[in-house]
Structure 1
Amino acid sequence: MKLLLIYRLARVFLHLAIGMTKSLLVFPWLDAQGRNRRIRAWARQLLAICGVHVELRQSGQAALERVMVVANHVSWLDIFVIDAVHPCRFVAKSEIRSWPILGWLAARAGTIFISRGSKRDLRKIFQGLVDKLQAGERIGFFPEGTTAAQGQLLPFHANLFEAAIDARVPVQPFAVSYVDADGKPHPTVDYIDDMTFAESLVAILCGPPVTARLVCLAPIDSAGQHRRELALAARSAVAAALNIT
């Protein structure tokens, strides 16, 4: 088991090193579509190394290009699961920037970092989000604001939904879940409480294979909506897809 873990960790770090090299030497020469293709391929490869297979399920219209993506938040894997199918520029808590290697890669991939609880920070990035959405970029965030164990869904914070309204783009909800070979919630994926990133990574690498189920839900029109209405509608759609009452 130790030798297998060492082997898998070595593959993860090699893949991260390749990602760093490409982001420095290749990304500056690519357009948005080229970057998205490489982000998608890199995310899929990382998940494969971690023993995670992505299963996309469509519920309604296919994911739109010019859209604000929202999803429930279970694990640090969520970003890569979504990027493996529909790459986004994510809004993420500022602590992620300090993560070794991954934080740097997230910044290079265009992640928008925000200090949790900082109204000044929120105001500062808000107009930038609107501009990016209007320019056709796909922006993603996790409105729960933190991770929750599978089977739970926290309230959706409404503030950032205002950007979709101002940019006149729809909200595209995704439901994320992780199951084992029997279709039951996977025991090692939850990234909650005081678990560190290193502990979570080791648990996943040592655990059985993971199937990440990503359900693409019908987009929600933001026209004429209040941000709280949008947040409630998105949460209701995600809850229904996850069979959470």
Structure 2
Amino acid sequence: MTETAQALGSTGRGALRLAAYALWTVTLIPVQAVAVALKRPLRHRLPVFYHRACARLMGLDVVVRGQRATEGPVLFVSNHSSYLDITVLGSVIPGSFIAKTEVAGWPFFGLLAKLQRTVFVERKARTEVGKQRDDIGARLESGDSLILFPEGTSSDGNRTLPFKTALFAVASRRIAGKALTVQPVSVTPTRLDGIPMGIAFRPFYAWYGDMDLAPHLWQAFKLGGMTVEVEFHPPVTIDGFSSRKAIAEHCQRAVSQGVVRAVTGRHDAPALVEPQKAIA
């Protein structure tokens, strides 16, 4: 069997990983449930610990570039190509996700989302934008950092879709008198067992369109080690922009350029977004 064939799947490896993942998850569910119910500080720390272990169990090597903003609550905005982004970002960011309401009803994964205190939003209901903005704002004002996928759907991983601006309205919030920190983040799968993924292999990570979840998830458990690069771009605030549309477009450019750098391996390529709009 060639190295490429081995990288693309081993049933035995998949079974072991799935069993380990299930045992690890079932063990921690009641711990997190109690922490959330009692509002203990552990409810913030345990998800990061959980996702880091899950990343190792699934053979995900998460490579971090740049510096994560750590002062005050932060709205992290990222591209989105797979449910695996949850594990990847969850392993490096202590925060909760913003997800579409349908996720709350998913078997098993809906429970995990609720235990990570996900904020659920109805992306298609324009009449709910104000309430959703207030719900997100309340969480930020309480000190929680949140992770937003502003593309509104998952992509094929080879490009970054335009960012929807509606939920960027929360960027105008001031927390303790200061403008909310917004940090763009790029997530890019780059290698499969050391082999550059390219367009041909990236769908093994990316889950989009009409792909069925169960077969894709099983394939992910069977795969060899995957390298996923996470790049934290300079944080910004609404104070450096004329509108929420302008800050959304800035974040989209920063994330898109980060994906291109990761795909091409040109990490020394200069950023083209306006540096004066980053927080000093």
Matched, 1:43 2:51: yes
1:166, CA displacement in angstroms? 2.4
Asked whether the equivalents of residues 159 and 259 of structure 2 are also in contact (C-alpha less than 8 Å), the reply is: no
Aligned to 2:107: 100
Two-structure CA RMSD over aligned residues (Å): 1.9
Asked whether the equivalents of residues 14 and 223 of structure 2 are also in contact (C-alpha less than 8 Å), the reply is: no
Alignment deviations for residues 99-151 of structure 1 (CA, whole Å, 9 cap, x no partner): 22111111121101112301233322211212222232211110000011122
**Comparing 44-53 and 154-163, the one that deviates more:** 44-53
Alignment deviations for residues 25-48 of structure 1 (CA, whole Å, 9 cap, x no partner): 34434534x222211100011111
CA distance in 2, matches of 1:163, 1:90: 15
Q: 1:19 to 1:120 in 2, by over 3 A?
A: farther
Aligned to 1:23: 32
3-state SS in 1 of match to 2:260: coil
Aligned to 1:148: 155
3-state SS in 1 of match to 2:183: strand
Number of equivalences: 242
CA distance in 2, matches of 1:24, 1:169: 29
Aligned to 1:222: 238
CA distance in 1, matches of 2:154, 2:101: 15
Asked whether the equivalents of residues 16 and 101 of structure 1 are also in contact (C-alpha less than 8 Å), the reply is: no
CA distance in 2, matches of 1:135, 1:96: 24
Aligned to 2:5: none
1:169 aligned to which of 153, 171, 180: 180
Match for 2:16: what amino acid? Y
CA distance in 2, matches of 1:128, 1:98: 19
CA distance in 2, matches of 1:178, 1:155: 19
Superposition TM-score, scaled by structure 2 size: 0.80
Q: 1:82 to 1:39 in 2, by over 3 A?
A: same
Unpaired segments of 5 or more residues in structure 1?
A: none
Matched, 1:242 2:259: yes
Asked whether the equivalents of residues 133 and 164 of structure 1 are also in contact (C-alpha less than 8 Å), the reply is: no
Aligned to 2:250: 233
CA distance in 2, matches of 1:86, 1:104: 20
Aligned to 1:192: 208
**Percent of counterpart pairs with the same letter?**
26
Asked whether the equivalents of residues 171 and 237 of structure 2 are also in contact (C-alpha less than 8 Å), the reply is: no
Match for 2:55: what amino acid? L
Asked whether the equivalents of residues 182 and 236 of structure 2 are also in contact (C-alpha less than 8 Å), the reply is: yes
2:69 aligned to which of 35, 41, 63: 63
Unpaired segments of 5 or more residues in structure 2?
A: 1-9, 262-271, 273-280
CA distance in 2, matches of 1:18, 1:121: 37
Matched, 1:4 2:13: yes
Asked whether the equivalents of residues 104 and 111 of structure 2 are also in contact (C-alpha less than 8 Å), the reply is: yes
Alignment deviations for residues 44-83 of structure 1 (CA, whole Å, 9 cap, x no partner): 111111111111111xx54234211100001101122111
1:128 aligned to which of 135, 147, 151: 135
CA distance in 1, matches of 2:259, 2:33: 39
Asked whether the equivalents of residues 96 and 119 of structure 2 are also in contact (C-alpha less than 8 Å), the reply is: yes
Aligned to 2:226: 210
CA distance in 2, matches of 1:19, 1:120: 37
Asked whether the equivalents of residues 71 and 174 of structure 1 are also in contact (C-alpha less than 8 Å), the reply is: yes
Asked whether the equivalents of residues 69 and 141 of structure 1 are also in contact (C-alpha less than 8 Å), the reply is: yes
Asked whether the equivalents of residues 21 and 57 of structure 2 are also in contact (C-alpha less than 8 Å), the reply is: yes
